[in-house]
Amino acid sequence: MIETRSLSVHLTETPILHDVTVKMPLGKMTALVGPNGAGKSTLLSAMGRLIKLEHGEVLLDGKPLSAYPPKTLARHLAILRQDSQITPRLTVRDLVGFGRYPHSHGRPGPADVEAIETAIARLDLKDFADRFLDTLSGGQRQRALIAMVLAQDTDVLLLDEPLNNLDIVHARTVMRVAREEADKGKTVVVVLHDLSVAAAHAEHVVALKAGRLHSEGAPDTVLTRDNLSDLYDTEVQVIEAEGRRIVLTV
């Protein structure tokens, strides 16, 4: 489990997160939602130890994140960032292979090769596994990045807007794979803007507004008309269709 305690973050002296205390449950998928600029990506980066904390702490399995050596942390936690920088002349297979480095240290064995090929297959990348990244569409590159994170095989999986550039079929694939990882007992945190997707797939929802924790809990308590209308400062309707919760703006 990963959690924050009284977490505050400033970026270039601008306060972004304010006193955020939240737990991301073990073995569940948590949807991180909220308006643009609410601090969702910053919170994910803080949990991934990618940015400096102004105040508070992040704990992984009850131990401060700062206590983990980088190589050890990389075997426990993987993060997909929105702004991942990749070399265009890598192949998909090469990129996914980077996810195994914390385990293989550059010398992949049979278990690493199996993990790479499994991740490629799960993200429907087999047909272009040997193509260079700069020959792919944005959605295909996004799936390759997700496969790299998946191949890392960590206890905590942090995904920042993984559905960017994806069509509805591959968005469904990514959410199914994330759900499968949570079902293995992992902590999965996904930043989502599609609240209907959050309602359909997440078991836990954390909502941020203006850098503060707005609400958290089960989808049926957080993704309600009144709560979402307050979160987004606009009128929202929530309807049921074929047993699913659909969120609409009015």
Is 233:225 a contact under the CB 8 Å cutoff? no
Q: What is the pLDDT of residue 188?
A: 99
What are the domain boundaries of the chain?
2-249
pLDDT category at 84 given cuts 50, 70, 90 is confident
Q: What is the CA radius of gyration of the chain?
A: 18
Tell me what the pLDDT averaged over the chain comes to. 96
- Average of per-residue pLDDT across 97-121: 94
Whether 106 has a pLDDT exceeding 90, the answer reads: no
> What region does 130 belong to: left with phi over 0, alpha with psi -120 to 50, or beta?
alpha
Q: Give the helix/strand (H/E) hosting 30.
A: strand 29-33
pLDDT the model gives residue 183 = 97
The rounded distance, in Å, linking the Cα atoms of 79 and 155 is 11
- Looking at the DSSP bridge assignments, the partners of residue 30 are 189, 204
Query: What is the per-residue pLDDT across 122-155, written as a single tens digit (0 to 9) for each?
Result: 999 999 999 999 999 999 999 999 999 999 999 9
Average pLDDT over residues 6-19: 96
Q: In the structure, what pLDDT confidence band is assigned to residue 87 with cuts at 50, 70 and 90?
A: confident
48 residue type, one letter: G
Residue 242 binned pLDDT confidence (cut-offs 50, 70, 90)? confident
Strand-pairing partners, residue 4, are 22, 58
Fold of 2-249: Rossmann fold (3.40.50)
**CB within 8 A of 89, min separation 6: which ones?**
132, 133, 134
Average pLDDT over residues 97-106: 92
Q: Are 46 and 17 in contact (CB under 8 A)?
A: yes
